[in-house]
Amino acid sequence: MRVTGSVSRRMILIAAAWITLMLTGGGFALDRVLTTTVTRGFDEQLELLMRVMILSSELGPDGEVVLSRELADQRFLEPNSGAYWQISGKGYETFPSRSLWDRRLKTDQAHTDGELHFYNSNEFADEPLRIVERDLELPGSKVTWRFQVAQRRSVLDEQVAQLRRTLVRSFLMLAFGLIVMAALQTWFGLSPLRKLRVEIARLRSGDSARIEGAMPAEVAPMVEELNGLLEHNDRQAEEARRHAGNLAHALKTPLSVMMNAAAAGQPDLPDTVIREARTMRRQMDHHLARARAVGRRGSAHSRAAVWPAIEAVERAVARLYPNVRIDIDGDQDLVARIERQDFDEMLGNLVENAAKYGGGSVFITARPQMGFVEIMVEDDGRGIPESERIRIFDRGVRLDTGKPGTGLGLAIVRDVAEIYDGTVSLEESEDLGGLLVRLRLPAA
């Protein structure tokens, strides 16, 4: 048997791929949110220092900017501390914090920052900065002053890096846990299939006759169908054994008669052989018809369109009995759950009997009837007395011995109809006065 791979592995790989994709997307989005939040908190500190510096600024005697009080952060007084401020204006010397020492923050006069402007800067080679700046005119001054507050970005970068390390570790643990859970779920979820495989192996080895044990709701219907298939096969095997036994028993008597006649040297041996051979042939025809019907009954695709079959039988019988008038009526869209060959044989027997034993007129009607297809074959003959209608279904029984035949037609119809869960009954025709045969078969 060709194997296309493991269902368990396929399910685990799909779950792992989906978990990885979702956690990667979620982790990226969460990283953006947390990084933005941390950066915003860092910027709020710079903005606060900027506001304090602006509020503390005033004009000196020569029009330069001076601070009325020092900023409270001690780092602005320590050289290269990582916290800096600077005030610059066109035509005036730059006013820096003591922490800048002999360095100065760059000022780009090509643009004006009327609002707070935050940006990252690498102007100090060994010290990346986060800077906020703003341009404004102080009262009494026509010069646009640029206020700048900078802080070493290493603190911010370390916080962001720590968050990312925590995120990566957490999401890796979460991914591992989810994949393990998906693997366990797959293993546990597919365990009924492994149990089913073991049960089927026990069936094949002969240790059990049916698949037993409780199964989940999703697997139980399949188990029921398998058990139903086993029962169906058992029934077919039993029917085959029974038919073989019946056929052997039916052939035993004619063979014994011919052997006794041959051993006794009876002068009418040829006539005896011919008579008993005909009996054997009738029995073989009957059992072969049943065997064919039983073999085809289990097919899920058994379908027979009723109207085309009736028309085909009508044409065939009309050629055999050209003096008989055959009329058909009914629903032309009916479909019966039966093999077409078996249906043709049943219908052919009924219509041929009606043409053979009727008075020259046959009427066939097809109609739906409560989940069944009902076919009525009527003739204008003498009919069959009610007391004989049950016995006529026995093999070899013929009420009219003046016409050729084997007496197996109605017996075959009854047996095949029962195999397909149908029925056949004999009644009196109200319209034609002869026999009415009512055949009912399950509708497809």
Q: Are 20 and 174 within 8 A, CB to CB?
A: no
pLDDT of residue 296: 55
pLDDT of residue 119: 92
Comparing CA positions, the residue from 270, 443, 264 lying closest to residue 371 is: 443
pLDDT over 80 at 354, yes or no? yes
Least confident of 22-26, 179-183, 359-363, 414-418: 414-418
pLDDT over 60 at 342, yes or no? yes
Q: Round to whole Å and give the CA distance between 375 and 257.
A: 41
- Cβ burial of 362 (10 Å; 0-12, 13-18, 19+) is buried
Per-residue model confidence as pLDDT tens digits over 202-222:
888 877 878 877 888 888 888
For 375, list phi and psi in degrees, rounded to 5.
Answer: -120, 125
Token representation of residue 254: 């004619």
Work out the average pLDDT over 42-60.
Answer: 90
Give helix 340-357 / helix 306-320 axis angle, nearest 10°. 40
Work out the average pLDDT over 394-406.
Answer: 44
pLDDT of residue 311: 92
Q: What DSSP string runs through 359-372?
A: SSEEEEEEEEETTE
Q: Are 426 and 386 within 8 A, CB to CB?
A: no
pLDDT over 90 at 364, yes or no? yes
pLDDT over 70 at 396, yes or no? no
Q: What DSSP string runs through 70-102?
A: --S-GGGGSTT-SEEEEEEETTS--EE-GGGTT
Mean pLDDT, the chain, as a whole number?
83
pTM of the model: 0.52
Q: Binning pLDDT at 50, 70 and 90, where does residue 35 land? A: very high
Per-residue model confidence as pLDDT tens digits over 162-172:
999 999 999 99
Q: Of 61 and 295, which is predicted with more confidence?
A: 61
Work out the average pLDDT over 117-141.
Answer: 89
Q: Binning pLDDT at 50, 70 and 90, where does residue 291 land? A: low
**Sign of the C-alpha dihedral, residues 54, 58, 64, 66?**
negative
pLDDT over 80 at 300, yes or no? no
pLDDT of residue 280: 75
> At which residue do the structure tokens 């506001």 appear?
51
Per-residue model confidence as pLDDT tens digits over 380-390:
988 888 777 77
Q: How far is CA 323 from the centre of its chain?
A: 59
